[in-house]
Structure 1
Amino acid sequence: MTQPVKFVQHLNHQNKKFLTILKEFYVKDRLLVYLVYDLEYGIVAAKISIKNKTIQREWEAAVNIQNKIKSCPFILKYLKQLDAGNYSILLIEYASLKTLDIIVKYPQFPLPVSTLRALMKQILEGMRIFHDAGFVHRDIKCDNILLHSPPNTGLVQAKISDLGFAKEEDQTNEQTYLAGTLPYMVLKQQLYLI
Structure 2
Amino acid sequence: MDFEDILRRERQIPIRPLGAGYVYQAYNLEDGMVAIKIMKKEKFSQRELDSSINLYKHFIFKTKGNHNQFILRYHFYQSQREYPIFITDYANMKTLEVIVRQQQMKPLPNYALRTLFKQILEGIRVFHSAGLVHRDIKCDNILLHCPPGSGRVYAKLSDFGFAKKEDLEGGNTYSVGTYPFMAPELFQIPVISTQKVDIYAVGITFYRLLTNDYPIKGNIPDDYFRKMTQQMYIKRPPGITDDHLWNLISQMLDFNPDRRITATEALKHEYFTSSEAISDISPEQQELATKATELKEKGDKTISEYDINPTFIMPETVISNYFPKDELEELIQNNKENKTPKLKVKLIVKMNNKLMTVKL
TM normalised by structure 1 equals: 0.85
Long gaps (5+) in structure 1: 13-17
Q: 1:46 is paired with a residue of what secondary structure?
A: strand
CA RMSD, aligned part only? 2.0
Per-residue deviation, 1:85: 1.7
**The one of 73, 87, 91 aligned to 1:91:** 87
Distance 1:36 1:90 in 2: 12
Q: Quote the sequence identity (%).
A: 43
**The one of 164, 168, 177 aligned to 2:165:** 168
Amino acid at match of 2:126: I
Per-residue deviation, 1:36: 0.2
Alignment partner of 1:64 is 2:61: no
Q: 1:26 is paired with a residue of what secondary structure?
A: coil
Decide whether the 8 Å contact of 1:20 with 1:36 is kept in 2.
yes
Deviation per CA, 1:9-37: give whole Å up to 9, x if none. 4x34xxxxx21111111223xxx111101
Decide whether the 8 Å contact of 2:136 with 2:177 is kept in 1.
yes
Within-5 A mapping of 1:1-194: 3-9=2-8, 11-12=9-10, 18-28=11-21, 32-52=22-42, 54-70=44-60, 71-107=67-103, 108-171=105-168, 173-176=169-172, 177-189=174-186, 193-194=221-222
Decide whether the 8 Å contact of 1:47 with 1:89 is kept in 2.
yes
Distance 1:157 1:181 in 2: 23
Q: In 2 relative to 1, CA 38–122 (structure 1 residues): closer, same or farther, beyond 3 Å? A: same
Per-residue deviation, 1:58: 0.8
Q: 2:100 is paired with a residue of what secondary structure?
A: helix
Decide whether the 8 Å contact of 2:16 with 2:25 is kept in 1.
yes
Per-residue deviation, 1:188: 4.9
Per-residue deviation, 1:190: 5.0
The count of corresponding residues between Structure 1 and Structure 2 is: 183
Per-residue deviation, 1:163: 0.8
Deviation per CA, 1:153-178: give whole Å up to 9, x if none. 2111111000111111244x232441
Higher gyration radius (CA): 2
Distance 1:52 1:64 in 2: 23
Amino acid at match of 1:60: D
Decide whether the 8 Å contact of 1:21 with 1:34 is kept in 2.
yes
Structure with more helix by fraction = 2
Distance 1:161 1:129 in 2: 13
Q: In 2 relative to 1, CA 37–153 (structure 1 residues): closer, same or farther, beyond 3 Å? A: same
Amino acid at match of 2:110: V
Distance 1:52 1:122 in 2: 35
Amino acid at match of 1:78: Y
TM normalised by structure 2 equals: 0.47
Structure with more strand by fraction = 1
